């Protein structure tokens, strides 16, 4: 038994090392005082971060990314609320297969989505713009949002809605007074996840970007210039911590949601 | 006769092909404590939810207070419900939960405050106003659910197995408290339960349901003493059954041939559900006696004790009668000087014709 568990510990250790070592290198070189990204380290500097502050094209790309990520987060979450509510409360013809199709982009290779959207948009005579990227991102983010929100809606005791209705409230007010506050943590988690996915997404943004690059596309373009590498490391560090931070917050809200409704679920058996 | 508060006529409910309720005809009187009693899955909840407006019936009609409830949604009906899970809003305090329905009615703030305080007092939750609802025990949650519904002064309060989630002691306490509350507010209560003891102790009248049909509607005493069918008799309390065959009827009497007991003449009124199709005789364990020494009884029969269950105040004997395969139960009060028999002992079982019911 002990031998087995020791093996398992080693396995986990290596796995985590391979997974995270490259990411840890980012901040290491971001603070390294040499313009060449290699060991040995030569000293500490925050120069690469201050370079970021004065780079105009970078700022435009960052602004594009933020705009897309915020729009994506809002629209994906909105669509997901409707889908999650419909799939958990109502039974309608073909519900399972419809939900299956809605969730499909989660496992579809992004490159396929990117190429096919590119073809469709160009065939339909539309210009590539931030809007085309946003639409692609909504497509891939919505399934994730639905997954999060479905569990939030499913955990909701149906009799809470009925109780509100029974006490004389309208269906519309019931949604805002009872359902919405209870799935709120799920909604926040969904917004943050969609935001994070969109912010980091490269393939679709690359295919559908016209003249306006997003942050990942900008970074990819800059990789050709070795002198820019350290400042990209600094940018990567910033993005890394923003992403981790957002995911942690999202998870906090998701847990809080489960705690809230979980208490209600066990309420009857206390 | 005043008009009933609830009148159900010819109510049917289908879920797809499955018939959950069939031909429910029922009048519930104003101000009574009424129970729907039946085994799990017999349609009690479905019937209660039809009254509340959460299920639309497939046929038949429902009138509350003389008004047809056809097309009236749950939030417009003069009924309120205490849900089995209590359905306390977890993100609101006790006071906010109780105030919920009053706010929906857009009453002035002062009035809401006064009525909430009164309702919280009524269910004995003084001082819990600001308590978060997830920090309440099962019994307290139930009180909140009651206060939240009663504060609206509904014409009818519907309760779906409100006590089933509580432990035995709390359940007994809440039974008498619910009864007291119902008398105090004078509102009609319709209670769903699968616990016959609960129904008997709390209700003015009980409807016994099986498989989507109402089998009998009566007061607790009549239900226990004069069940109209064998099914009801078996569900409520304990009842011994003996095969019986109707021979002849003459005037107010009927002659029957009963297993082990032989040929008897019984008054017709002991066929509580009518004589048609009667094929068994029922007798409660407490209507039988184990005769000691020189004791006598109207009738007696020799039997052998096959099982003894001693409960302190009572002893339950399983005794085997001649010409009947499975034993019947006799319950005896353990009065002073009464000996508890042992398994295998011979016993004289005393009985009387007046305690026999002819059932189908
Ligand atoms: N929404 C529904 N769809 C299909 N069948 C249902 C539904 N609700 C209840 N039933 C069935 O109707 C029958 C009666 O249910 P219910 O009224 O909940 O019984 P009870 O409350 O007496 O235990 C059960 O067999 C149950 O499976
Ligand atoms: Mg039920």
Scored b (16 or more CB within 10 A) or e, A126-159 reads eebebebbbbbbbbbbbbbbbebbbbbbebbbeb
Choice from B24, B38, B41 to test ligand 1 binding pocket (greatest atom count within 8 A of CB): B41
Distance B45 CA to ligand 2 centre (A): 4
CATH numbers and ranges of domains, chain A: 48-265 (1.10.3720.10)
DSSP string for residues in A182-224: HHHHHHHHHHHHHHHHHHH--HHHHHH--S---HHHHHHHHTT
- Measured between alpha carbons, how far is A89 from A153 in angstroms, rounded to an integer? 8
Please check whether residue B170 touches A, CB under 8 A.
Answer: no
For residue B271, what is the DSSP state? S
The pLDDT of A194-215, averaged and rounded, is 86
Distance B57 CA to ligand 1 centre (A): 13
H-only helix segments in B53-167? 94-104, 109-122, 138-150
Mapped onto helix, strand or coil, the DSSP state of residue B305 is strand
Residue closest by Cα to atom 4 of ligand 1? B15
Residue A30: CB atoms within 10 A of its CB come to 23
Distance B41 CA to ligand 2 centre (A): 7
* Residue B308: per-residue pLDDT: 94
- Measured between alpha carbons, how far is B50 from B45 in angstroms, rounded to an integer? 8
Ligand 1 and B17: CB distance under 6 A: no
Apex B160 CA angle, B157 and B164, nearest 5: 130
Q: How many CB pairs lie under 8 A apart between chains A and B?
A: 86
Residue closest by Cα to atom 7 of ligand 1? B15
Mapped onto helix, strand or coil, the DSSP state of residue B206 is strand
Mapped onto helix, strand or coil, the DSSP state of residue B303 is strand
DSSP string for residues in B22-50: EEEEEEE-TT-EEEEE--TTSSHHHHHHH
DSSP string for residues in B209-261: EETTEEEEEE-HHHHHHS-SSHHHHHHSS--EEEEEEEEEEETTEEEEEETTT
- Measured between alpha carbons, how far is B213 from B27 in angstroms, rounded to an integer? 15
Contact B266, B248 (CB under 8 A): no
Q: Which residues contact B247 (CB under 8 A, 6 or more apart)?
A: B255, B256, B257, B263
Q: A254 to chain B, minimum CA–CA distance in Å?
A: 16
Token digits of residue B181 = 């509350």
Most confident of A128-132, A213-217, B227-231: B227-231
- Measured between alpha carbons, how far is B34 from B43 in angstroms, rounded to an integer? 16
Which residue from B79, B87, B165 is facing A269, i.e. has the nearest CB? B165
- Measured between alpha carbons, how far is B235 from B161 in angstroms, rounded to an integer? 17
- Measured between alpha carbons, how far is A228 from A216 in angstroms, rounded to an integer? 14
Question: What size, in residues, is chain A?
Answer: 270
Q: Which residues contact A146 (CB under 8 A, 6 or more apart)?
A: A80, A83, A84, A87, A99, A102, A103
Residue closest by Cα to atom 12 of ligand 1? B20
Contact A126, A61 (CB under 8 A): no
The pLDDT of A163-168, averaged and rounded, is 94
Q: Which residues contact A42 (CB under 8 A, 6 or more apart)?
A: A32, A33, A34
- Measured between alpha carbons, how far is A80 from B97 in angstroms, rounded to an integer? 29
Q: Which residues contact B257 (CB under 8 A, 6 or more apart)?
A: B244, B245, B247, B263, B264
Q: Which of B61, B60, B124, B134 is nearest to B97 (CA)?
A: B134
Ligand 1 and B43: CB distance under 6 A: yes
Q: Does the beta-carbon distance from A270 to B137 stay under 8 Å?
A: yes
Ligand positioned closest to the Cα atom of A91: 1
Contact B89, B134 (CB under 8 A): no
The predicted complex's ipTM stands at: 0.85
pLDDT tens digits, one per residue of A234-265: 888 888 888 888 888 877 876 776 565 544 43
How many contiguous H segments (helices) and E segments (strands) does chain B have?
Answer: 8, 20
A220's torsion region: left (phi>0), alpha (psi -120 to 50) or beta? alpha
Closest residue in B to A265 (Cα–Cα): B85
pLDDT in tens, chain B (360 residues): 578 999 999 999 999 999 999 999 999 999 999 999 999 999 999 999 999 999 999 999 999 999 999 989 999 999 999 999 999 999 899 999 999 999 999 999 999 999 999 999 999 999 898 888 888 888 899 999 999 999 999 999 999 999 988 888 889 989 999 999 999 999 999 999 999 999 999 999 999 999 999 999 999 999 999 999 999 999 999 999 999 999 998 889 999 999 989 899 999 999 988 888 899 999 999 999 999 888 888 899 999 999 999 999 999 999 999 888 899 999 999 988 888 889 999 999 999 999 999 999
- Measured between alpha carbons, how far is B74 from B72 in angstroms, rounded to an integer? 7
Closest residue in B to A264 (Cα–Cα): B90
* Residue A265: per-residue pLDDT: 37
Mapped onto helix, strand or coil, the DSSP state of residue B62 is strand
Token digits of residue A270 = 């206390």
Apex B12 CA angle, B6 and B18, nearest 5: 140
Q: Does the beta-carbon distance from B141 to A270 stay under 8 Å?
A: yes
* Residue A262: per-residue pLDDT: 45
Please check whether residue B141 touches A, CB under 8 A.
Answer: yes
Please check whether residue B104 touches A, CB under 8 A.
Answer: yes
Q: Which residues contact A25 (CB under 8 A, 6 or more apart)?
A: none
Distance B55 CA to ligand 1 centre (A): 11
Q: Work out whether the CA dihedral A77, A78, A82, A85 comes out positive or negative.
A: positive
- A174 or A266: which carries more pLDDT confidence? A174
- Measured between alpha carbons, how far is B299 from B279 in angstroms, rounded to an integer? 22
For the CA of B55, the nearest atom of ligand 1? 1
Residue closest by Cα to atom 3 of ligand 1? B15
Ligand 1 and B20: CB distance under 6 A: yes
Give the full edge-to-edge strand order of the sheet including B213-218: B79-82, B156-160, B188-193, B33-37, B205-210, B213-218
Apex B28 CA angle, B27 and B31, nearest 5: 155
% residues pLDDT > 70 (chain A): 93
Ligand 1 and B142: CB distance under 6 A: no
CATH numbers and ranges of domains, chain B: 6-225 (3.40.50.300), 238-281 (no CATH), 283-352 (2.40.50.140)
Choice from B45, B194, B196, B212 to test ligand 1 binding pocket (greatest atom count within 8 A of CB): B45
Q: Does the beta-carbon distance from A168 to B75 stay under 8 Å?
A: yes
For the CA of B47, the nearest atom of ligand 1? 17
HSE on the CB side for A233, CA within 13 Å? 26
Distance B34 CA to ligand 2 centre (A): 16
B158 sits in which H/E element: strand B156-160
Distance B220 CA to ligand 1 centre (A): 26
- Measured between alpha carbons, how far is A234 from A242 in angstroms, rounded to an integer? 13
Q: Which residues contact A250 (CB under 8 A, 6 or more apart)?
A: A188, A189, A192, A193, A196
- Measured between alpha carbons, how far is A41 from A49 in angstroms, rounded to an integer? 17
- Measured between alpha carbons, how far is B148 from B164 in angstroms, rounded to an integer? 19
Question: What pTM, to 2 d.p., does this model score?
Answer: 0.81
- Measured between alpha carbons, how far is B280 from B239 in angstroms, rounded to an integer? 11
* Residue A260: per-residue pLDDT: 58
Ligand 1 and B13: CB distance under 6 A: no
- Does position A270 have pLDDT exceeding 70, yes or no? no
Residue closest by Cα to atom 16 of ligand 1? B43
Please check whether residue B132 touches A, CB under 8 A.
Answer: no
Q: Which residues contact A40 (CB under 8 A, 6 or more apart)?
A: none
- Measured between alpha carbons, how far is A130 from A75 in angstroms, rounded to an integer? 15
- Measured between alpha carbons, how far is B347 from B127 in angstroms, rounded to an integer? 60
Mapped onto helix, strand or coil, the DSSP state of residue B276 is coil
Closest residue in B to A166 (Cα–Cα): B75
Residues of chain A with Cβ-Cβ distance to B85 below 8 Å are 157, 159, 264, 267-268
Q: Does the beta-carbon distance from B100 to A182 stay under 8 Å?
A: no
Q: Does the beta-carbon distance from B137 to A159 stay under 8 Å?
A: no
* Residue B2: per-residue pLDDT: 75
Interfacial B residues in 47-86 facing A (CB < 8 Å): 52-54, 73-76, 79-81, 83-86
Q: A179 to chain B, minimum CA–CA distance in Å?
A: 10
């Amino acid at each position: 038994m002990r031998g087995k568990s020791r093996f398992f510990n080693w396995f986990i250790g290596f796995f985590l090392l391979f997974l995270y070592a490259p990411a840890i290198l980012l901040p290491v070189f971001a603070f390294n005082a040499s313009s060449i990204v290699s060991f040995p380290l030569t000293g500490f500097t925050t120069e690469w971060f201050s370079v970021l502050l004065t780079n105009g094209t970078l700022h435009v790309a960052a602004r594009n990314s933020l705009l897309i990520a915020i729009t994506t987060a809002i629209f994906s979450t909105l669509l997901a609320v409707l889908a999650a509510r419909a799939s958990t409360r109502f039974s309608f013809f073909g519900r399972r297969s419809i939900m299956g199709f809605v969730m499909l982009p989660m496992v579809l290779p992004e490159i396929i989505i990117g190429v096919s959207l590119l073809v469709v948009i160009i065939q339909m005579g539309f210009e590539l713009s931030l809007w085309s990227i946003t639409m692609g991102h909504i497509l891939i983010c919505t399934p994730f949002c639905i997954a999060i929100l479905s569990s939030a809606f499913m955990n909701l005791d149906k009799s809470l809605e009925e109780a509100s209705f029974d006490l004389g409230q309208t269906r519309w007010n019931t949604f805002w007074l009872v359902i919405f506050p209870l799935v709120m943590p799920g909604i926040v988690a969904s917004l943050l996840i969609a935001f994070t996915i969109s912010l980091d997404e490269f393939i679709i943004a690359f295919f559908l970007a016209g003249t306006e690059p997003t942050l990942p596309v900008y970074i990819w373009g800059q990789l050709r210039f070795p002198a820019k590498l350290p400042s990209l490391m600094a940018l990567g560090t910033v993005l890394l911590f923003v992403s981790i931070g957002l995911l942690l917050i999202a998870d906090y809200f998701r847990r809080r949601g489960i705690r809230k409704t979980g208490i209600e679920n066990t309420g009857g058996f206390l | 006769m005043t008009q009933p508060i609830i009148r159900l006529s010819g109510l049917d409910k289908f879920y797809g092909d499955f018939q959950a309720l069939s031909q429910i005809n029922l009048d519930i009187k104003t101000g009574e404590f009424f129970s729907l009693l039946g085994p799990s899955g017999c349609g009690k909840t479905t019937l209660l939810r039809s009254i509340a407006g959460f299920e639309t019936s497939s046929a038949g009609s429902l009138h509350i207070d003389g008004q047809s409830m056809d097309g009236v949604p749950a939030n417009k009906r003069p009924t309120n419900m205490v849900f089995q899970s209590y359905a306390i809003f977890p993100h609101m305090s006790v006071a906010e939960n109780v105030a919920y329905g009053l706010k929906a009615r857009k009453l002035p703030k002062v009035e809401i405050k006064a009525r909430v305080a009164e309702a919280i007092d009524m269910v004995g939750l003084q001082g819990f106003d600001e308590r978060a609802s997830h920090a309440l025990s099962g019994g307290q949650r139930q009180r909140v659910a009651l206060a939240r519904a009663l504060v609206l002064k509904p014409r009818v309060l519907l309760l779906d197995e409100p006590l089933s989630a509580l432990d035995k002691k709390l359940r007994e306490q809440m039974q008498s408290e619910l009864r007291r509350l119902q008398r105090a507010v004078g509102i009609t209560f319709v209670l769903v339960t699968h616990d016959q003891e609960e129904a008997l102790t709390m209700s003015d009248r009980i409807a016994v349901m099986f498989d989507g049909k109402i089998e009998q509607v009566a007061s607790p005493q009549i239900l226990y003493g004069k069940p109209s069918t064998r099914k009801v008799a078996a569900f409520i309390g304990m009842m011994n059954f003996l095969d019986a065959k109707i021979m002849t009827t003459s005037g107010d009497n009927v002659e029957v041939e009963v297993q082990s007991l032989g040929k008897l003449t019984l008054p017709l009124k002991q066929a509580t559900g009518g004589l048609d199709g009667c094929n068994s005789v029922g007798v409660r364990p407490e209507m039988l006696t184990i005769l000691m020494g020189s004791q006598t009884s109207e009738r007696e029969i020799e039997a052998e004790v096959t099982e003894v269950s001693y409960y302190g105040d009572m002893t339950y004997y399983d005794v085997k009668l001649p010409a009947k395969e499975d034993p019947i139960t006799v319950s005896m009060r353990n009065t002073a000087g009464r000996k508890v028999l042992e398994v295998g002992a011979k016993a004289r079982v005393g009985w009387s014709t007046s305690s026999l019911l002819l059932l189908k």
